[in-house]
Amino acid sequence: MITIGVGEFAIYEDINESIITYALGSCIALIIWCPVSKKTAMAHIVLPKLNRVEQYNYLQTKPSYFADVIVPKLLNEFLGTKDCQKDKLQVLLAGGAISKNELDVFQVGERNTNMIKFLLSQYGIIPNKLEVGGTRSRTVEIKVINGEVQIKSQNMVI
């Protein structure tokens, strides 16, 4: 089992593997699976957009921290192969929870969801499954062999 942390991503084709990420609150897990090649990717995305010069240092250690950086990177990785055509890709978004704090002006979960959906639409892709929003934290796992996704959720403490 491959574990990815906050701001990390993984791409695998080994059918014996699964990829997992834990404790998605406002963060989003973007999962892309190609049923032909079994190529599977998961990214743990923290923020919708890289918008300040100071944030560039995140990209060295956290390459999927920003949606506007990692979504095109992953899509180009898949769409650049003959086996993974966009009409065959399975795309799932999970996470994007909202804070229980009524004064949360940042609305990061909703902004993450909207940005990722927008970026996917630029490639003509609509997610096959969305499990976003709400006030629950999620742990997401995908099996490379068959694209089976398991989502577990629990109450958040925010």
- 108-136 residue pLDDT tens: 899 999 999 999 999 999 999 999 999 89
- In DSSP terms, 20 is beta-bridged to 3, 141
Q: What is the DSSP string of 106-151?
A: S-HHHHHHHHHHHHHHTTT---SEEEE-SSEEEEEEEETTT--EEE
- 135-150 residue pLDDT tens: 899 999 999 999 999 9
| Amino acid letter for position 61 | T
Which is nearest to 140 in space by CA: 33, 16, 65, 13? Answer: 33
Cβ atoms of 88 and 36 within 8 Å: the answer is yes
Q: pLDDT category, 104, cuts 50, 70, 90? A: low
Domains delineated in the chain: 2-155 (3.30.1330.200)
**Which pLDDT value is given to residue 155?**
77
Alpha-carbon distance of 22 to 4, in angstroms, equals: 8
Contacts of 102 (CB under 8 A, 6+ apart): none
